[in-house]
Structure 1
Amino acid sequence: MAEPKSVAIVMDGNRRWAKKNNLPVSQGHRAGIESLTKIVKHAKNIGVKHLVVYAFSTENWNRKQFEVNALMNLINFGADTKLNELINNEVKLNFIGELDALPTSSRKAIDKCKESTKQFEGFTLTVAVNYGGIWDFINTITKAKKIETPLNEENLISLTSFGNEIDLFIRTGGEKRLSNFLLPNIAYAELFFTETLWPDFSETDLDHILAEYKLRKRRFGE
């Protein structure tokens, strides 16, 4: 197979990485941002067109309040420390999820990221924040009703928040579950699960997965 055009990643393992290294959880999440920045640039360089990452799920609100606050602040931190680097690499930023429920400062940071990179084409980093696959299904149905379009297999994916099929789904951190992420979009995706914690996930790790991906034959039910 050719290189995947659309790749989704569940970035799992930041908290365990922090614990393993005797660091605060917030430092684990910041280390995760460093890993994401490296993977974004590498994915773009090898021909990936869309990278979608799971940053904050609708279920994450159930975590302890201090960690929820840290994750929300992480959006601001990323915009402050990494936006210029992404601009220099001509990365277009997109965000999906129930964004209206986020704190005002987080929404402003998201708007800044989108506005500052809207001119770029060729590679898009989509960050899922306050996102859930079931929420996306409901939102898609609501959208179809609003525009009076009957849902079918041909238009379902295009009406989702991301709007494209996923070719390759990766989850770091050792868990083997989808965690309510891009459920309709990954219908025919190749799935890869790695024990590597997200802050330790490197360009080489991605290359190894891509090499195995190329050996697989996508049958699409045939």
Structure 2
Amino acid sequence: MTGEGASARHVAIIMDGNGRWAKRKHLPRAMGHRKGVEAVRELVRGLQGTEIECLTLYAFSSENWKRPEEEVDDLMNLMRKFIKSDLPEFVANDVRLHILGDWRGLAPDIVEMLEDALEQTAKGSRTLAVALNYGSHAEIVQAARQAAAEGEITEEGIARHLYSADLPPLDLLIRTSGEVRLSNFLLWQAAYAEMLFLDVLWPDFTPDHLKQALAEFAERERRFGGR
């Protein structure tokens, strides 16, 4: 049992609301995604003022391929630009990049960029985990298969083969935009995580919103099934 005042070591965020942000401002949907990337950049820069060891962001789900081709292309191009522009800053600020999902199924040039980024940031002390081409059901199925290949299937065996195996246990999961669902994200990892659903749209999410979320987390008492 963890009492009040505890710090969140691992925070995950479902970054939702880019499209609605753009619609409310009568802008193209692509502008919402670009503004959302700026929110990511500011959040990562603000991590140094927190006790967070790992921040996990839901960037692109395996279901997002169903979106219009033009939107998917824009998201992929944004990813390319983000990696290219922000990688030096990650290295300078001791941030380690970790990828969750079937990211090797992305375009070859993006895979190459990610491999380089993973190598360059491997020794970072604080982790930014990004879920790309990710779906939690598929992750659990894959982990169960690998556990079965080793013998008896156990919780520990499955956990050992999850994409997040070397990350701290998930403490807090945040979703923006007012939606109250997990959308196939970290279903196994979120079993005893605290959850916070915020009405703010992702492009408007700031490091101050994160600090407020961490303060609310510190006020909660985590029982992990106990009393």
Greater CA deviation, 98-107 or 130-139? 98-107
Return the letter of the residue paired with 2:133: N
**Structure 1 unmatched runs, 5+:** none
Matched-pair contact (CA < 8 Å) for 1:7–1:169: yes
Matched-pair contact (CA < 8 Å) for 1:13–1:173: yes
Mapped partners of 2:31, 2:119: distance in 1: 28
Give the aligned partner of residue 80 of structure 1: 84
Matched-pair contact (CA < 8 Å) for 2:174–2:196: yes
Residue 50 (structure 2) pairs with residue 46 (structure 1): yes
Return the letter of the residue paired with 1:141: A
Residue 181 (structure 2) pairs with residue 177 (structure 1): yes
Give the aligned partner of residue 167 of structure 1: 171
Return the letter of the residue paired with 1:180: N
Return the letter of the residue paired with 1:215: E
SS in 1 for 2:41: helix
Mapped partners of 1:95, 1:145: distance in 2: 24
Matched-pair contact (CA < 8 Å) for 2:147–2:157: no
Matched-pair contact (CA < 8 Å) for 1:75–1:110: no
The alignment's C-alpha RMSD in Å is: 1.4
Return the letter of the residue paired with 1:204: D
Q: Report the CA distance between 1:101 and its aligned residue.
A: 1.6
**Structure 2 unmatched runs, 5+:** none
SS in 2 for 1:154: helix
Mapped partners of 2:151, 2:223: distance in 1: 29
Give the aligned partner of residue 103 of structure 2: 99
Q: Report the CA distance between 1:29 and its aligned residue.
A: 1.3
Divergent runs of 4+, >4 A: none
Matched-pair contact (CA < 8 Å) for 1:50–1:126: yes
SS in 2 for 1:8: strand
Give the aligned partner of residue 89 of structure 1: 93
For residues 53-68 of structure 1, what are the structure 2 equivalents within 5 Å?
53-68=57-72
Return the letter of the residue paired with 1:102: L
SS in 1 for 2:224: coil
Q: Report the CA distance between 1:131 and its aligned residue.
A: 0.2
Residues 184-214 of structure 1 show CA distances to partners (whole Å, capped at 9, x for unaligned) of 0010000000011111101111111111111
Mapped partners of 2:23, 2:44: distance in 1: 25
Residues 23-80 of structure 1 show CA distances to partners (whole Å, capped at 9, x for unaligned) of 2222211211111122123234311011111000011011111011111112201112
Which one of the candidate residues 134, 142, 148 is aligned to 1:131? 134
SS in 1 for 2:148: helix
Residues 72-106 of structure 1 show CA distances to partners (whole Å, capped at 9, x for unaligned) of 11220111221122222111011111122211122
Pick 1 or 2: higher relative contact order, CA cutoff 8 A, min separation 6. 2
Mapped partners of 1:21, 1:66: distance in 2: 20
Q: Report the CA distance between 1:217 and its aligned residue.
A: 0.3
Return the letter of the residue paired with 1:138: V
SS in 2 for 1:192: strand
TM-score, reference length from structure 2: 0.92
For residues 1-222 of structure 1, what are the structure 2 equivalents within 5 Å?
1-121=5-125, 123-146=126-149, 148-163=150-165, 164=167, 165-222=169-226
TM-score, reference length from structure 1: 0.94
Mapped partners of 1:150, 1:76: distance in 2: 41
